[in-house]
Structure 1
Amino acid sequence: MISNQETLKLSPFMAIYDIVVPKDNMLRQINELVDFNFILEELKTKYCLDNGRNAVSPIRMFKYLLLKSIYDLSDVDLVERSIYDMSFKYFLDMAPEDPVINPSSLTKFRKLRLQDVGLLDMLIGKTVEIALEKEIIKSKTIIVDATHTKA
């Protein structure tokens, strides 16, 4: 299973999140209340588990795209902000000192893993639905950048 690729984070700096990412931060609440394992289920056929090096977690890659959608950022700006924005790193399940991905990885993820045009929209929709159920998001409206969807 893809989730076996994840490793336990043993960083002496993890406690910094309790100081710099408030309990009422939207990203913190989404991360703590939404189970993103449905991403693994949806994308399990898109990964080869016995060939090559381990891929960046599909959950983390999806979370990058979710951040991109929420904050209306370009791939480059998103990755740059992920370097210093601790709420982003917390949301991405990264240790504070972990390196971020290369922006081109997002393009590759979209092209290779999200080939079905509606898949990203469906995954974002499911996440928003869960967040609404948990009352993390109050609004019934969310605007999604449709740059990468076909009309």
Structure 2
Amino acid sequence: MSDERIITAAIVTTGEKSDGKYLKDLVEKSKEAGMTIDRIIGDTAYSEKDNIQYAKTEEFQLVSKLNPQITQGGRAKEDELEFNKDAGLYVCKAGHMAIRKARTGKKEQGKNQKDTYYFDIKKCAVCPFRDGCYKEGAKSKTYSVSIKSTEHKEQEAFQNREEFREHARSRYKIEAKNSELKHRHGYETATSAGLFGMEIQGATAIFAVNLKRILKLLNEKE
């Protein structure tokens, strides 16, 4: 959607698909429609690594918050685990330090690598805090922390700037347009079966809201 609240591209998918996977297609469709793009504002679904790289290549800003799992990293379980900086290992609330750590995951696979910390399973099996932490009969006990890629570090720095927060405040316009499609133009409920039927319904609903918006903009100029 443009700053003038005109929908410039849409893709209809089945319900299990991730929105973020279609950023590039939506951008290309918008460009084909005559749009010049210098900024994309979206929710967390659009901040995956491939999209950050694509935004950099195409030279537009991606105003999309990183998933908390990326930004929080090892803080997610800080109430249960404490990081010992001298040893470079995590210590559980029972006072047991991890016995080793290993880098897991492959580089350049679209997903961040992780530092995985391994605990002594013999100690875990008799630990007084094992309930909810240790699974009976488990052969290993690990804790993994995602390693931020260069792209994620740069995006995190950007999202902490006032410029990012200022642009992000405009995202309510997208939710408002979704509400208009659903509640005023019947896009909340499918009127036919199948993906093709939803594409036709989506196209007509979008045509209607765009036409109304264009007429309003023209009236405001008069």
- Give the TM-score normalised by the residue count of structure 1: 0.28
Higher relative contact order (CA 8 A, sep 6+): 1
Query: Which one has a larger percent helix, Structure 1 or Structure 2?
Result: 1
- Give the TM-score normalised by the residue count of structure 2: 0.21
